[in-house]
Structure 1
Amino acid sequence: MKVLLADDHALIRDTLVAYLSNEDDFQVTTAEDLPAAVVQLAKAGPFHVILLDYAMPGMDGLEGLAKMRELTDAPVAIMSGAATRRIADEALAMGAAGFVPKTIGAKALIHAVRYMAAGETFAPVQLLNDSVPNAPEVLADKLTEREREVLEGLCRGLANKEIARDLGLQEVTVKLHVKNLCRKLEAKNRTQAALLARDAGMY
């Protein structure tokens, strides 16, 4: 199954690709923005499923969804970790094959892709709220200043030792901050914490 995944955040893109690549029958092509996705569609298509980040360059809200749907008959889904229920509903009303939260687990993502490839609509909108739970100011308010500094390091892909060096802390202290910020953000691990922060536009 050929999947086109477009997202401008390398960390998020690599994480989702890692999830999908565990499936032997999946072939994943990536792009960093909508124009690049259009190029890949012409170059490496057709695809069975196309996943577009809602907030990446070139999308212009849901205009990017409409543009991509004009170019292909393949199911096109929107991905986001910080969009509202209204946006999800609008995307589905415009013909999106699904609305995929970026915090989705590996098995759920694989299920969603297969489901959409089969012509079904994946819409776990019960997971979304009418507000924006992951807006930058909401996430930031949950963390201390030091935890925000550590989170920025996670978003840059730094190891605990590197973060400790940059901030003048002991590595064990950084580990504690990582544990605390993951708990506050309800993230399963450091990668998901960074994913939430990057997708919400904090860094």
Structure 2
Amino acid sequence: MRSGKPGIVVVHPHALFRDCFVRCLEASYEGHDVFDFSCISDWANNAERNIQAPTVIILFMDGAKASSMADLQFVDSVADNVPIVVMSDIDDASYVMRTLKSGARGYIPTSLPFDVAVEAVRRVEAGGTFVPASSLEFTQNKQEATSRATELLTKRQMMVVGALCQGMANKRIAFELKMSEHTVKVHLRHIMRKLKARNRTEVAVLTKDYFQA
């Protein structure tokens, strides 16, 4: 039965975690009703979904599932502009950014303490957004590294980085740029030193935005 209170919807597949989280939310949001579902289809097919009038939806996403982003996009499409907060065990900045681009208004890694998670939900419910500080720091570092790359790297080194960002191996880079594999390796050592990257993967991550642009 609808109580007239604003509602919070929680979708999480694991009953123990879901029940504990719901009870904590009920204690923190005394003026709200909290509704929980084990999966998206249970929520979407629930006969009372349209009268619960949630003010925020908290959706757990399993990064190991290929359908996770599609699930988020589905919820976003049927949620009638209700803001969505994603909760996940993944604390990877690129994954966080992908969820925000797919419709989420907030992202809560399970590594955060509960009081921070509550404030994140409040912020999103009030019309704001929430992104973990670690993701903001990573994004800033990427922007700084991209800028540093254009300033510090030679034209030839930027060509090597561009090929690397396309996933080319050293042998292919050498062929495409008409240089020896030894020269490619030397360029990569200099590039990693200048960008303070530990390996070629970090070089690609730190500079791919430049080449995508």
TM-score, structure 1 normalization: 0.56
Q: Identity across aligned pairs (percent)?
A: 22
Of 36-45 and 90-99, more deviation after overlay is shown by 36-45
Tell me by how many angstroms 1:56 deviates: 9.0
Q: Does the 8 A contact of 1:33 with 1:57 survive in 2?
A: no
Q: Secondary structure at the match of 2:68?
A: coil
Q: Secondary structure at the match of 1:48?
A: strand
Matches within 5 A, 1:176-195: none
Equivalent residue, structure 1, for 2:189 = none
Distance 1:56 1:85, change over 3 A: closer
Equivalent residue, structure 1, for 2:183 = none
Tell me by how many angstroms 1:94 deviates: 2.0
More helix by share: 2
Residue 76 (structure 1) aligned with residue 84 (structure 2): yes
Tell me by how many angstroms 1:57 deviates: 11
Residue 38 (structure 1) aligned with residue 58 (structure 2): no
In 2, Cα distance between the equivalents of 1:59 and 1:15?
27
Tell me by how many angstroms 1:59 deviates: 8.0
Question: Given the alignment, which residue of 108, 111, 136 partners 1:103?
Answer: 111
Distance 1:60 1:18, change over 3 A: same
Higher relative contact order (CA 8 A, sep 6+): 1
Of 6-15 and 58-67, more deviation after overlay is shown by 58-67
Distance 1:26 1:104, change over 3 A: farther
Structure 1 unaligned blocks of 5 or more: 131-203
Q: How many residues align?
A: 130
Residue 15 (structure 1) aligned with residue 20 (structure 2): yes
Tell me by how many angstroms 1:37 deviates: 2.2
In 1, Cα distance between the equivalents of 2:64 and 2:44?
13
Residue 123 (structure 1) aligned with residue 128 (structure 2): no
Moved over 3 A (4+): 56-59, 127-130
Equivalent residue, structure 2, for 1:24 = 30
Residue deviations 1:133-174, cap 9 Å, x none? Answer: xxxxxxxxxxxxxxxxxxxxxxxxxxxxxxxxxxxxxxxxxx
Q: Does the 8 A contact of 2:8 with 2:56 survive in 1?
A: yes
Tell me by how many angstroms 1:43 deviates: 4.9
Tell me by how many angstroms 1:66 deviates: 0.7
In 1, Cα distance between the equivalents of 2:32 and 2:111?
20
Structure 2 unaligned blocks of 5 or more: 1-5, 139-213
Residue 65 (structure 1) aligned with residue 83 (structure 2): no
Tell me by how many angstroms 1:3 deviates: 0.5
Query: Letter of the aligned partner of 2:36 in structure 1?
Result: T
Tell me by how many angstroms 1:68 deviates: 0.7
Query: Letter of the aligned partner of 1:122 in structure 2?
Result: F
Q: Secondary structure at the match of 1:62?
A: helix
Residue deviations 1:14-52, cap 9 Å, x none? Answer: 221122111311211000011112134735432100011
Q: CA RMSD in A?
A: 2.7
Instruction: Give 1 or 2 for the bigger CA radius of gyration.
Output: 2
Tell me by how many angstroms 1:128 deviates: 9.4
